[in-house]
Structure 1
Amino acid sequence: MSEVSSKQIAVTAAAGSAALLAAALTFQMLGYAPCELCILQRWPHLVAAIVGVLIWWLGWKRWLAALGLIAALCATGFAIYHAGVELKLWLGPQHCSGGVAGLATLSTQDLLTALEAAPVVRCDEVSWSLFGISMAGWNAICSALLSALWLVSVRGRSRVKGIA
């Protein structure tokens, strides 16, 4: 048995968020353009990564670990929401899910203007999946695991026992 500190757990969780950001940017460089909800999911991971750097630099503080936990939970929530939109469990934002508000009342010119302004990448379509799970689904799974790590860190025991 070895012991792992709350600081090490927080920094590991933050590194996980940084890795998810790097993966998202790699997919983007490979030609998988992100939708609006994909971009939204990146912000909490950025916050969690920054919090991890602060914890690494300043030392473990419960309030910083709590901020990391909140960021990871937000990332989890955004990813679950996006995965649900992709699975058609609920509606996504109308402007990135293929809908045009008030379609029946628009003139032809207004409809063309709305279509030209609509984002190219739809939030309700899966652009890549592995084992039937979309990127948003994988982000939800990974973010939930990172949230669990942040929670263990927030619990704040000076040492957390782990298996070597």
Structure 2
Amino acid sequence: MGSIGLARTLALVVPVALLAGALGSQYLGGLYPCEMCHWQRWPHYAAVPLALLSIVLRDKGMGTVFLWLAAVAIFASGAIGVFHAGVEYGWWEGLTSCSTSPGGGGDFLADIMATPVISCDQPQWTLFGISLAGFNAIISIGAAMVIAWLTRKTTR
């Protein structure tokens, strides 16, 4: 596998792994996401099909364009993670409307009453003092930089 193949693999594996971790911690681990947690997921949701398109269209010029777009989406998730981690560590103010939305059940009022309100400024889980938002920032920005470096190295 060459540099560009590794970049494509990373562009697919990193967001899939981070989303699996986020969804697993939510549905299996009972860690309810706040609003900014959801924001960090959106760019990863976009990065997966972009990475798949970069793989499918690898022999065409558009494959590299989709790879760059996937890298930008992964980086965007990391940037949101930096903002969220800064709110958690008290470095800056968060958003006042930071809470979860009700689930997709049939009874809207029951969903509202059963949905825990999660504050964006309180990490639910940390490891070595780093929250999940912090880990997302580190992994996403690092991966986006590696993907960009590998892609640029190949396209020169």
Bin the TM-score by the shorter chain: 0.7 to 0.9
The separation in 2 between residues aligned to 1:134 and 1:8, in whole angstroms, is 28
1:55 is displaced (CA, Å) by 1.6
The separation in 1 between residues aligned to 2:25 and 2:98, in whole angstroms, is 20
The separation in 1 between residues aligned to 2:149 and 2:46, in whole angstroms, is 18
Structure having greater relative contact order (Cα 8 Å, sep ≥ 6): 1
Larger of the two Rg values belongs to structure = 1
Contact 1:79 / 1:137 at 8 angstroms: preserved in 2? yes
State the aligned residue count: 138
**Is structure 2 residue 89 aligned with structure 1 residue 90?**
no
Percentage of pairs with the same residue: 37
TM-score, normalization: structure 2? 0.80
**Is structure 2 residue 142 aligned with structure 1 residue 145?**
yes
Contact 1:79 / 1:140 at 8 angstroms: preserved in 2? yes
Q: Which amino acid aligns with 2:40?
A: Q
Q: What secondary structure sits across from 1:94 in the alignment?
A: coil
1:48 is displaced (CA, Å) by 1.3
Contact 2:7 / 2:150 at 8 angstroms: preserved in 1? yes
Deviations 1:142-162 (A, max 9, x none): 011111122124316169xxx
Counterparts of 1:90-109 in structure 2, within 5 Å, are 90-96=92-98
**Is structure 2 residue 134 aligned with structure 1 residue 132?**
no
Deviations 1:111-133 (A, max 9, x none): xxxxx9xx701000010001110
Q: Which amino acid aligns with 1:96?
A: C
Q: Which residue of 1 aligns with 2:119?
A: 122
TM-score, normalization: structure 1? 0.76
Contact 1:69 / 1:147 at 8 angstroms: preserved in 2? yes
1:6 aligned to which of 4, 7, 11: 4
Q: Which residue of 2 aligns with 1:157?
A: 154
The separation in 2 between residues aligned to 1:27 and 1:130, in whole angstroms, is 14
The separation in 2 between residues aligned to 1:149 and 1:45, in whole angstroms, is 16
Contact 1:87 / 1:124 at 8 angstroms: preserved in 2? yes
Structure 2, gaps ≥5 residues long = 100-112
